[in-house]
A and B are shown apart, each in its own frame.
Chain A
Amino acid sequence: MFSLAGRVAVVTGGNRGIGLAIAEGLAKAGAAIVIAARDHAAGRQAAASLGADAAFIETDVTNPDSCHAMVRGAEDRFGRLDILVNNAGIMRAGRAEATALADWQAVLDINLTGAFLCAQAAYPAMRRQKAGKIINISSLAAIFGTAVGAAYASSKGGMVQLTRSLAVSWGSDNIQVNAILPGYIESDLTRRAEAERPGAFDAKRARTPACRIGQPQDIAGAAIFLASDASSFITGASLTVDGGYAIQL
């Protein structure tokens, strides 16, 4: 419904799952897309599937130099950068008492620090253009505790506070920063968890008022809206996209 013609968007982790669905949605709305990810083969394939106005740039979101190079690459290829979707994320399941420091750190580094570093790298271009949109893909785990994902929940909660802080910091630059909190989505990440511990899909479906698990494409519409001029007065907000999961017991 909302046009992104002429805009350039970076989607981190845009090579699969929710990230790929968002990239497809933004592309369909008219934006040129940069898939920023580690996985070469999947990244190239995803960019190729989006057509001519899409490119893959190999990126390690935990490395500031890599983030800056990614933004330079996007500007070199498409001339500008309007939209940053911080979607790259990992989950390492395990009870808190048994979580190794390295696992805790890896989750925080990619999910939270990675979003911060990409935003920091994108800021100069957005400030120069006096316009920008940053969309952080958080999670319902920002609201609810999870027994086997303290690091994941902490990183996603941190993304909500990062969102508010960047919104306040960069509002005067006409940069809007918002978070999307997807509910339980059928993605590579959750399918793998389901294979390891079957039952979560049924349990989540039973608890979701909309009586279904979300699909990656369900998130794309919210991302298009938050990337478009139609949301120019929305900043610092957290939008739950969860079929009503967050509002029932």
Chain B
Amino acid sequence: MTGFFAGKVALVTGAGSGIGRAAALAFAAAGALVAAADIALGAAEETAALITEAGGTCLAVYADSSLNDDVAAMVARTVTALGRLDIAFNNAGISGGRPGQDDFDEDRYDRVMAINAKGVWLGMKHQIPEMLRGGGGAIVNMASIAGLTGVGALSYTASKHAVIGMTKAAAVRYAGENIRINAICPGAVDTPMLARATAGAAPPPAGTTGPLAAPADIAAAVLFLSSGDARFITGHPLVVDGGILAG
């Protein structure tokens, strides 16, 4: 699919690792100019280096997704450096910790909601005006099957339900102005975040979590939702979970 996104500018948050890095690499491989944002600038720079080595174009950007000024600056730098904004993948997120033990940790609740939910809201707040200026665009917000069920720590589950809700509301609002806004709902994905969240924990009983997706599996779905192939899809939470929710 080389060249499919030629001339398009894609912004990916949380692009320093895991799903975000995989999506940034996939967008670049498909011809997009990529802005890779992360709170860990060094990690974003590694992603950018991987893309540049492969012959692509990537700008590494520092941003704390929970801070309005950071997100505004992230979008402004993307547009200044790469010319426009066609696609945004609001992916940055953190774990809610251990279900049961961390459910009512107030600091963690505030942090999880600030990054996972408000971060997506801030992203859309600053991305949509640029897309309106450019005549349209596509946004994909990172949710989870925790946004559709009661699994996970309370803060995480709440944040992901929030992402799906604001995705739908924003999709209704901007569908008439040629901006499509969808969410992606992975099950368990083989990422550093999952490894940290489950470190030291007993392995779950077989069959309760389903198989592990690779970050590239999720990235492929993000590219689809960002593409013209999905031109009539908006406000949809796309489940990419290996069939966990089906059964």
Contact = CB atoms under 8 A, between A and B. Distances in A.
Interface of A: 1-3, 163-165, 167-168, 171, 183, 208-211, 214, 218-222, 224-225, 230-237, 239-244, 246-248
Nearest to A181: B236
Contacts of B172: 209, 244, 247-248
Contacts of B247: 164, 167-168, 236
Contacts of B197: none
B104 interface: no
B239 to A, nearest CB: 5
Given A225-B229, A236-B243, 19 more contacts: A164-B247, A167-B246, A171-B243, A183-B232, A209-B234, A211-B175, A211-B176, A218-B231, A222-B229, A222-B230, A225-B221, A230-B223, A233-B218, A233-B242, A236-B245, A236-B247, A240-B236, A243-B232, A244-B234
Contacts of B236: 239-240, 247
Contacts of B108: none
- Interface-central residue, A164, A168, A230, A244, by most chain B CB under 10 Å: A244
B176 A209 contact: yes
Contacts of B1: 1-3
A163 B243 CA distance: 11
B38 interface: no
A20 B220 CA distance: 26
B241 interface: yes
Size category of the B interface is 35 or more
B213 A247 contact: no
B217 interface: yes
A171 B242 contact: yes
Contacts of B241: 233-234, 237
Nearest to B235: A247
Contact of A164 (B211, B214, B230, B246): B246
Given A211-B175, A236-B245, A221 B230 contact: yes
A14 B1 CA distance: 26
A22 to B, nearest CB: 12
A157 B160 CA distance: 27
B242 to A, nearest CB: 5
B200 to A, nearest CB: 27
Interface in B155-175: 168, 171-173, 175
Given A236-B247, A246-B235, A230 B176 contact: no
B240 A209 contact: no
Contacts of B224: 1-2, 221, 225, 230-231
Contacts of A243: 175, 232, 234
A240 B243 contact: no
A209 B175 contact: yes
A239 B247 CA distance: 17
Contacts of B218: 233
Contacts of A240: 233, 236
B238 interface: yes
A176 to B, nearest CB: 8
Nearest to B234: A244
Contacts of B52: none
B82 interface: no
B229 A224 contact: yes
B30 A1 contact: yes
A48 B38 CA distance: 52
A100 B213 CA distance: 48
A191 B199 CA distance: 58
B227 interface: yes
Contact of A241 (B175, B220, B228, B233): B233
Nearest to B1: A1
23 contacts: A1-B1, A2-B229, A163-B246, A164-B246, A167-B247, A168-B246, A168-B247, A171-B242, A209-B234, A218-B232, A219-B232, A220-B229, A221-B224, A221-B231, A225-B221, A225-B224, A233-B218, A235-B246, A237-B246, A239-B238, A241-B230, A244-B175, A247-B172
